[in-house]
């Protein structure tokens, strides 16, 4: 039931601190217990691993893009992400010692299942063991078709999600990738890879704070976004900008807004603006800029400045600080290690979309033309 919430989506957004707390309890053992991350992984999945490829659709694909960033930057493993629907009909040439990950919260998405089955089959036909299938599924439904198809599952354990818009399961998928990337970085001798042991320990100790951070963030942005929603009453287009590990969050912000509010929205890597999309901007097109301190912070701020110079209304998802004045509206997010920032920046994205759609009086939990599981091609 929805308890006191108006919609399941809002209830599920509010359940995210609990999703994170359960994940921390399950996967981050006390510092004395040896391993940094408790994740039972079959050595057959990672020994001698040279590549990872991830197949997914929609929001699950956005989680996969964050996952790819982590697998490359923390664990040093070359990783590609595919739309499952594209992979099916144009798979890349087979690569050696490759782990294929299917990400689907429902475990029933037809394109993702078919792409995985096709990959498994074409690898089975090769005699050379270097090409043997290594398959892993990430899902919220350990009893689903996906779980019957692949031998290894990471269960995100977020509890049933009723709203068509994925929220707590997205956070759960992100956390599954944090766990996987940290575990692989650790097993592959993180010291020599990009994620040295000190960095891994720091990330793990910041991850322990996540449930408390989310608790505050959800409560705070619920109010802020509700108060902002009326500003979007007549809005027809919104641009979401992010870079680096927050680029997938810009894509996710745009998808959330599209699917429940029916407002046209696009997510872009901020540096691409000047290659076309900037022509769209004027005072009627709000720009949401995710600007978190780290490798691309200055670049993102200067991209935001360019948007502002075209009279766009600028909404910043950024920490409070000297740059706050740049934004017409600030949705403040506490500063954490850049690699962890997507776990926080996604919250204002979800709540902004939710409140805009609710303000428009739309059926948030059952948006038109959409189903919770897309079981047809
Ligand atoms: O069950 P899946 O994770 O495989 O679903 C994939 C997409 O259909 C899904 O993420 C869709 O984009 C959501 N409605 C997004 O909120």
Give the model confidence (pLDDT) of 55-104 as tens digits.
999 999 999 999 999 999 999 999 999 999 999 999 999 999 999 999 99
Tell me the ipTM for this assembly.
0.98
For residue 140 and ligand 1, the question of a CB distance below 6 A is answered with no
What local confidence, expressed as pLDDT, does residue 163 receive?
87
What local confidence, expressed as pLDDT, does residue 192 receive?
47
Q: What is the pLDDT of residues 264-300, one digit of tens each?
A: 999 999 999 989 888 899 999 999 999 999 999 999 9
Distance 322 CA to ligand 1 centre (A): 38
φ, ψ at 265 (rounded to 5°): -145, 145
Q: Give, for ligand 1, the residue of 65, 109, 142 to mutate: max count of ligand atoms closer than 8 Å to Cβ.
A: 109
Ranges of residues in the chain whose predicted pLDDT is under 70: 190-195
Residues in the chain: 377
What local confidence, expressed as pLDDT, does residue 62 receive?
98
Residues 6+ apart with CB under 8 A from 109: 57, 60, 84, 373, 374, 375
Residues 6+ apart with CB under 8 A from 134: 44, 45, 49, 98, 99, 100
What local confidence, expressed as pLDDT, does residue 193 receive?
52
Distance 205 CA to ligand 1 centre (A): 31
Retrieve residue 42's tokens: 């079959």
Retrieve residue 186's tokens: 């650790």
What local confidence, expressed as pLDDT, does residue 205 receive?
94
Given CA atoms 221, 227, 228, 230 in this order, what sign does their dihedral have? Answer: positive
Q: Give, for ligand 1, the residue of 58, 163, 251 to mutate: max count of ligand atoms closer than 8 Å to Cβ.
A: 58
pTM over 0.90: yes
Mean pLDDT of the chain: 94
For residue 144 and ligand 1, the question of a CB distance below 6 A is answered with no
What local confidence, expressed as pLDDT, does residue 191 receive?
41
């Amino acid at each position: 039931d929805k308890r006191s919430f108006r919609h399941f989506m809002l209830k599920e957004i509010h359940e995210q601190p609990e999703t994170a707390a359960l994940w921390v309890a399950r996967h981050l053992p006390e510092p004395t217990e040896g391993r940094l991350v408790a994740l039972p992984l079959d050595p057959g999945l990672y020994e001698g691993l040279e590549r990872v490829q991830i197949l997914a659709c929609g929001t699950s694909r956005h989680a996969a893009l964050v996952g790819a960033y982590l697998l490359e930057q923390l664990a040093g493993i070359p990783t590609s992400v595919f739309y499952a629907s594209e992979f099916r009909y144009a798979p890349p040439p087979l690569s050696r010692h490759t782990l294929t990950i299917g990400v689907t919260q429902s475990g029933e998405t037809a394109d993702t299942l078919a792409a995985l089955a096709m990959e498994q089959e074409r690898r089975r036909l090769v005699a050379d063991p270097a090409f043997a299938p290594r398959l892993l599924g990430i899902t919220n439904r350990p009893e689903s078709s996906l779980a019957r198809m692949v031998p290894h599952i990471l269960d995100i354990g977020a509890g049933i999600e009723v709203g068509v818009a994925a929220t707590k399961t997205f956070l759960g998928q992100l956390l599954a990738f944090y766990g996987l990337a940290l575990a692989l970085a650790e097993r592959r001798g993180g010291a020599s890879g990009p994620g040295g042991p000190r960095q891994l320990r720091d990330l793990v100790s910041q991850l322990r704070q996540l449930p408390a951070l989310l608790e505050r963030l959800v409560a705070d942005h619920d109010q802020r976004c509700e108060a902002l929603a009326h500003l979007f009453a007549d809005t027809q287009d919104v641009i979401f900008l992010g870079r680096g590990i927050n680029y997938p969050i810009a894509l996710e912000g745009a998808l959330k807004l599209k699917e429940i509010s029916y407002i046209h929205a696009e997510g872009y890597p901020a540096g691409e603006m000047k290659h076309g999309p900037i022509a769209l901007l004027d005072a009627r097109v709000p720009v949401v800029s995710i600007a978190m301190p780290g490798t691309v912070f200055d670049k993102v701020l200067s991209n935001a400045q360019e948007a502002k110079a075209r009279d766009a209304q600028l909404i910043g998802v950024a920490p409070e600080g000297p740059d706050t004045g740049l934004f017409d509206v600030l949705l403040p997010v506490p500063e954490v290690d850049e690699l962890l920032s997507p776990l926080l920046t996604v919250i204002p994205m979800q709540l902004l979309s939710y409140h805009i759609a609710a303000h428009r009086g739309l059926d948030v939990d059952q948006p038109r033309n959409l189903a919770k599981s897309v079981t047809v091609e």
